[in-house]
Structures are given as C-alpha cells and as structure tokens.
Amino acid sequence: MGDVCLVIGAGAGIGGHVGKRFAADGYHAALCRRSDQDGLDRMVAEIEEKGGSASGHLVNAIAENALEELIADVETHIGPIKTVVYNLGAQIGNRALSDTGLKVFERGWRMGTQGVFRIASTLFPLMEQRGGGTMLVTSATSAVRGNAGQHSHAAAMGGRRMLCQSLNAEFAAKNIHVAHILIDSGVNAPDTLGKMMGEENFEKLLDAKGRGKDGLMEPSAIADTYYHIAHQHRSAWTFELDMRAFSDIAWWNHPLNLNI
Ligand SMILES: NC(=O)c1ccc[n+]([C@@H]2O[C@H](COP(=O)([O-])OP(=O)(O)OC[C@H]3O[C@@H](n4cnc5c(N)ncnc54)[C@H](OP(=O)(O)O)[C@@H]3O)[C@@H](O)[C@H]2O)c1
C-alpha cells in the first residue's frame, strides 16, 4: 500500500477529483463523505478501474469523535496518512441575521473551523513522529470577504484561515505543511453548488459559464494544483493561494459575464 491521502468531503467536485488525482500517482485515496454511499462507491470503482487504490468512508465528519475515529481507522487498517485534504465548506445558503440562529451559527463553525482543529490535534502528532506530512485546506471567498446573508459562513471560513496560519507557525518547522487554498469562483460541483442552486439553475449556469467556456472552475484542474502543492520542495512551500476562473478577474470587464 502506498501513502494515504485522506479526503474529508469527497463529492463529485473538488474532493472527489483530488482523491482521483492522488490515486493516479500511487496514493491510496481514503474518501470520506456524509450521505451518498452510491456516489462514494462510484468514485472508488472509478479509481480501481484505472488500477488505483481507494476506500470509501461514509461518515458525518462533524459528529462527536467522528474525525478522530476515522483517522484512527485509516491509520490502523489502511496506512499512514501522508496528506489530508479538509474540503468541507460551511455554506448554509443566504440567511439574514434574524434567520441565523445560534445552532446554525455553531454548525458553520463546526464544519468550517473546528474540523480543521480536530484533524490537526489528532493527526499532527502522528505526522510529527513520522517526520512530516501535509494538510490542504479548501477555502472560499468568504474567508476574506464578508457578505450579507453569510454571517455563519464568513465567520467560520475566516476563522479557518487564521487557524491555518497559526498551525503553520507551530508546525512548518516540524515539516508539516498546511496550505490554505482559497477558491474564489464557482466550481463545477454538482453535489454542492448544483444542489444549492437546484438542477434547472445549475444547468443554466453550466450553459452560461461552463461546458468549455471555462468560466466555472473545473475540479480536475483544481486537483492538479492540490497535487503540486503537496509535493513542493520545502524551500518554496505555498502557504496561501487563491484560485479563480480567468473570467472572474475583474469580472465586470470580462465579455463572458456580459452574457448572463
Ligand atoms: N462549489 C463551489 O462553487 C465552491 C466555491 C468556492 C469554494 N468552495 C469550497 O470547496 C469546498 C467543497 O468542494 P466542492 O464544492 O467541490 O464539493 P465536493 O467536493 O463535490 O463535495 C463536498 C462533499 O462534502 C461532503 N460533506 C458535507 N458535509 C459533510 C460532513 N459533515 N461530513 C462528511 N462529509 C460532508 C458532502 O457529502 P454528501 O454529498 O455525501 O453529503 C459533499 O458531497 C468547500 O470548502 C467550499 O467552501 C466551493
């Protein structure tokens, strides 16, 4: 068994594609998602059909002890986790402050911030004993820019960014590389953006910006960058990165956006 890449939040978008990318280069991809066993099975089968190694773990990562038990399970039964990808978002849709109860606010924090803390607390001591490791954290525009209706999301993602910086301050010298990767465009992600928008609107979005127009980020292209970051020479590590589609640079000026 090769090195293990554990992906927390492996849907058909970024998470699944990152798993496939690492598996294509000899890693075992341990894929975790919350509710879609068929989707998980399909991704594992796709990797295995190409000669790769993968396992599916249906786990609600924010449940008590779930992340800790998942890491112990993978380490014991599959192998040492060399790279962990924290890909859970904290998006709960647009909610006015009056519609953002304490529970909703706290759920965002559990998914956005606390999960990263729990992984670091559980896995970093093991990585340190082994001489190093990598954590790639998917982030979003909300980590650096608040917005109406995004109180829970932005607070959780902003906290996640600061946590990544603090983890780096303590662990980079121990050869543990934490990269905070800010995804600053919509992604061709049917399991998240697709479900949030609904099938019809997501199809419209794909027609307007996807399907060869490249105005929607392709998760396979994002996954190439994740793989590269995990294999950088430590004299030149990326700690923070923002990525967006070519049409989202000064979007009001780009002809692609005039068609919407
Ligand atoms: N999609 C976008 O447009 C976009 C834009 C900017 C940033 N991002 C960031 O990208 C990341 C998500 O990537 P993606 O949108 O491409 O999605 P994805 O990788 O296709 O799917 C993420 C998966 O996370 C799983 N998940 C959610 N809550 C979970 C939990 N409590 N325990 C275990 N698994 C859980 C879901 O599984 P189930 O489906 O099985 O429930 C979902 O399929 C997030 O960090 C988000 O902030 C996305």
Task: Give per-residue pLDDT as tens, 191-208.
Answer: 999 999 999 999 999 999
- Whether 32 lines ligand 1, by a CB cut-off of 6 Å, is yes
**Within a domain: residue 219?**
yes
> In this predicted structure, what is the pLDDT of residue 260?
59
**Within a domain: residue 121?**
yes
Specify the residue for token string 């917005």.
147
CATH of the domain at 89: 3.40.50.720
Task: Give per-residue pLDDT as tens, 75-134.
Answer: 999 999 999 999 999 988 899 999 999 999 999 999 999 999 999 999 999 999 999 999
> In this predicted structure, what is the pLDDT of residue 93?
86
**Within a domain: residue 257?**
no
**Within a domain: residue 206?**
yes
**Within a domain: residue 258?**
no
- Cα of 86 vs centre of ligand 1, distance in Å, is 10
Residue 63: left if φ>0, alpha if ψ -120 to 50, beta else—which one?
beta
**Within a domain: residue 144?**
yes
Ligand 1, residue 186: give the atom nearest the CA.
3
- Cα of 236 vs centre of ligand 1, distance in Å, is 29
**Within a domain: residue 128?**
yes
- Whether 33 lines ligand 1, by a CB cut-off of 6 Å, is yes
- Under the banding of pLDDT at 50, 70 and 90, the label for residue 2 is confident
> In this predicted structure, what is the pLDDT of residue 250?
64
The residues near 226 (Cβ < 8 Å, ≥ 6 apart) are 18, 21, 85, 136, 181
Could you give the number of structural domains in the chain?
A: 1
Q: Which range marks the domain in which residue 105 is found? A: 4-247
Ligand 1, residue 36: give the atom nearest the CA.
40
**Mean predicted lDDT score pLDDT of the chain:** 95
> In this predicted structure, what is the pLDDT of residue 149?
94
**Within a domain: residue 153?**
yes
